[in-house]
């Protein structure tokens, strides 16, 4: 009798796992197909557009670039120089030194000839006290804010209060924006200034690439295996995922490393939520919630060609910290906004985007891990045909590789592809091996994140980066 029940339960669970497997892969394939159409459409529309023309437009909106920095004395000066050299008609750069314990502020003061200023700002959203605001006669675009540590969201809130322009671009101070990234990113805000509330660009990994004067000058693959796996992941996430989700009006994340937002809407939502570590996703979800509540039509766009280069972790320890934090951020945002789940009042966000992220992104690692465990269990107990088990495993690996290959194909149609055919071959090989061990390890990391979240862990975890490879 017990054996029958166990057998029945295992059978039922196998059906759940197979359905989950079928659904998640179908969604990913759908997103990639949509992305392919989206990329073609975008290419067609921008092929004959000179982004420099934005300089001649009288109605172009000025942008405040806000970059929080915490203990970044090694990279901060170069990053700020790169931000100051961006091409855009009118912008300011607000760097927030968020209670660094190293020489971040000193380096900024010395390098940019900063002097303390009597800046008066409007405190619309709360944040930790500001110790001083610094300006420079030599770099009038630059404002440096020194404040008590309050984590990233708090630093972003301080910059929101201090910024003067109607659009703000949140960037990580250790990332590199392409010179014309703002010109490309602002396009939807020019086309439809009323409805467009946020836009995200693409994040690419600069590991292995050569950087000169704050710009990536040579695109190459890194030697590090982990970084190579992450390149495939980023391709899948940004080119395969976000373009497709954007076309379905279901994009819930605009990366914190590079996103452009309307300040008035962000302030109406209360700015960044300081209690969360996934502040980028949280802001977008709350913006959607707010605009739906207000019954205001809006657009959140993903633009596939403005590129922000960032450095990927190259050790398991740091990568696991990063993914743990991302997953805790996702959990926090989804649970904080759970009222939107399956709620028709929130349109496609409530009926598709939130459930998708809830089932496949949030619970996904659990279901996947449980699947592995039951799979092994069934084989050991002889409840599963060994040949079927091997075949199913192979199907999963090849399907995963196929999805990665499709993302590489999308990469071929995007800007700044890897120029050497050898690189494509290497990435193909890695997309095959990604499904063996690396994927399972990530699932495990995300399950641990789940447990950490319930234990109330809130720290970011130190992210040691080695810096970009400089051209001679």
Partner 1 sequence: MSPSLILALYGLLFLIIFSLCLLGFIIIRRLVLTRREAFFSRLYRQIEKDILEAISRLDPDFSLKVAGRYRGYPQVLTQALLNFGDIIIGEGRDQLRIIFNHSVKERCLKHLTSRRTAKRLQSVRLVIIFFDPAESGFLFRLLDDKPIIKLAVINALSRLPSPETLGHIFTAFERDTGFTVQAYFNVMFSLGGRIELLVKESLKKTLPVDKLGLLVELIGAIPLRNLSEEVLALAEHPDKEIRIRVARALGRLLVPETAETLIRLASDEAWEVKAQAVKSLGKMKNLQALDLLTKSLFSPFWYVRHNAGYGLAEMGEAGLRRLKQVAGQEEDKYARDMSEMVLNDLIFPSEAA
Residues at the interface with partner 1 (CB under 8 A): 43-45, 47-48, 56-59, 62, 90-92, 115, 117-120, 122, 135-137, 140-141, 164-165, 190-195, 385, 387-388, 391-392, 394-395, 398-399, 401-402, 405-406, 408-409, 412, 421, 424-425, 428
Nearest approach, Cβ of residue 115 and partner 1 (Å): 7
Between 193 and 275, name the residue whose CB sits nearer to partner 1.
193
DSSP code of residue 52: G
Between 55 and 342, name the residue whose CB sits nearer to partner 1.
55
**Angle between helices 2-46 and 386-413 in degrees, nearest 10:** 10
Between 23 and 316, name the residue whose CB sits nearer to partner 1.
23
Q: How far apart are the first and last CA of the chain?
A: 74
Nearest approach, Cβ of residue 263 and partner 1 (Å): 13
Nearest approach, Cβ of residue 335 and partner 1 (Å): 35
Nearest approach, Cβ of residue 167 and partner 1 (Å): 11
Helix (H, G, I), strand (E, B) or coil at 170: strand
Q: What is 86-133 written as a DSSP string? A: ---SSEEEEEEEES-SSSHHHHHHHHTTEEEE-------S--SPEEEE
Strand order in the sheet with 114-117: 114-117, 130-136, 142-147, 91-98, 63-69, 167-171, 258-262, 196-205, 299-310, 176-177
Nearest approach, Cβ of residue 367 and partner 1 (Å): 20
Name the nearest CA neighbour of 459 among 345, 324, 346, 358: 324
Nearest approach, Cβ of residue 377 and partner 1 (Å): 19
Nearest approach, Cβ of residue 92 and partner 1 (Å): 6
Q: What is 278-328 written as a DSSP string? A: -HHHHHHHHHHHHHHHTT---EEEEEEEEEEEEPPP-SHHHHHHHHHHHHH
Between 395 and 436, name the residue whose CB sits nearer to partner 1.
395
Give the angle subtended at the CA of 216 by the CAs of 210 and 219, to the nearest 5°: 65
The Cα–Cα gap between 31 and 23 comes to 12
The Cα–Cα gap between 325 and 319 comes to 10
Q: Which two tokens stand for residue 61?
A: 């909106």
Q: What burial class does residue 84 get, using C-beta atoms within 10 Å of its C-beta: 0-12 exposed, 13-18 middle, 19+ buried?
A: middle
Nearest approach, Cβ of residue 40 and partner 1 (Å): 9
Between 106 and 192, name the residue whose CB sits nearer to partner 1.
192
Between 335 and 395, name the residue whose CB sits nearer to partner 1.
395
Nearest approach, Cβ of residue 221 and partner 1 (Å): 15
Cβ pair 336, 273 in contact under 8 A: yes
Between 295 and 386, name the residue whose CB sits nearer to partner 1.
386
Distance from CA of residue 208 to its chain's centroid? 20
The Cα–Cα gap between 441 and 317 comes to 12
Between 145 and 445, name the residue whose CB sits nearer to partner 1.
145
Between 142 and 334, name the residue whose CB sits nearer to partner 1.
142
Nearest approach, Cβ of residue 173 and partner 1 (Å): 20
Nearest approach, Cβ of residue 207 and partner 1 (Å): 22
- Give Rg (Cα) of the chain: 23
Helix (H, G, I), strand (E, B) or coil at 1: coil
Q: HSE (CB half, 13 Å, CA atoms) of 352? A: 10
Helix (H, G, I), strand (E, B) or coil at 245: helix
Between 110 and 470, name the residue whose CB sits nearer to partner 1.
110
Between 26 and 315, name the residue whose CB sits nearer to partner 1.
26
Neighbours of 455 (CB within 10 A): 8
């Amino acid at each position: 009798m017990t054996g029958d029940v166990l057998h029945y339960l295992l059978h039922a669970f196998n059906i759940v796992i197979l359905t989950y497997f079928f659904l998640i892969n179908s969604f990913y394939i759908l997103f990639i197909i949509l992305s392919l159409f989206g990329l073609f459409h975008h290419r067609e529309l921008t092929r004959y557009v000179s982004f420099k023309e934005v300089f001649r437009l009288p109605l172009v909106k000025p942008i405040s670039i806000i970059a929080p920095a915490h203990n970044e004395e090694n990279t901060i000066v170069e990053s700020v120089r790169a931000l100051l050299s961006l091409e855009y008609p009118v912008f300011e750069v607000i760097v927030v030194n968020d209670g660094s314990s190293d020489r971040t502020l000193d380096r900024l003061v010395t390098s940019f000839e900063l002097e303390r200023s009597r800046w008066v700002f409007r405190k619309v959203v709360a944040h930790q006290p500001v110790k001083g605001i610094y300006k420079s006669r030599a770099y009038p675009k630059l404002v440096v804010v020194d404040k008590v540590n309050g984590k990233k969201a708090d630093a972003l809130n301080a910059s929101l209060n201090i910024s003067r322009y109607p659009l703000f671009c949140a960037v990580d101070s250790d990332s590199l924006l392409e010179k014309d990234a703002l010109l490309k990113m602002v396009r939807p805000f020019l086309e439809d200034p009323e409805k467009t509330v946020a836009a995200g660009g693409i994040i690419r990994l600069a590991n292995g690439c050569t950087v000169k004067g704050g710009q990536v000058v040579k695109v190459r693959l890194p030697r590090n295996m982990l970084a190579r796996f992450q390149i495939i992941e980023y391709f899948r996430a940004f080119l395969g995922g976000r373009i497709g989700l954007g076309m379905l009006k279901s994009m819930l994340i605009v990366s914190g490393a590079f996103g452009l937002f309307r300040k008035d809407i962000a302030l109406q939502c209360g700015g960044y939520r300081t209690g969360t570590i996934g502040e980028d996703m949280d802001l977008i979800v709350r913006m959607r919630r707010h605009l739906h509540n207000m019954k205001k039509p809006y657009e959140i766009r993903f633009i596939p060609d403005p590129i922000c280069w960032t450095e990927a972790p190259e050790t398991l320890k740091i990568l696991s910290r990063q993914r743990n934090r991302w997953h805790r951020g996702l959990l926090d945002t989804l649970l904080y906004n759970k009222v939107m789940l399956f709620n028709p009042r929130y349109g496609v966000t409530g009926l598709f985007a939130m459930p998708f992220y809830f089932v496949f992104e949030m619970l996904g690692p659990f279901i996947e891990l449980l699947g592995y465990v039951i799979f092994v269990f069934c084989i050991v107990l002889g409840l599963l045909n060994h040949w079927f088990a091997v075949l199913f495993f192979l199907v999963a690996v090849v399907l995963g590789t196929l999805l990665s290959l499709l993302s590489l194909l999308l990469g071929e149609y995007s800007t700044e592809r890897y120029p050497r055919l050898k690189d494509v071959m290497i990435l193909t090989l890695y997309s095959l091996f990604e499904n063996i061990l690396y994927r399972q390890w990530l699932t495990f990391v995300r399950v641990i994140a789940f447990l950490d979240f319930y234990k109330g862990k809130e720290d970011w975890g130190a992210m040691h980066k080695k810096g970009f490879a400089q051209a001679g």
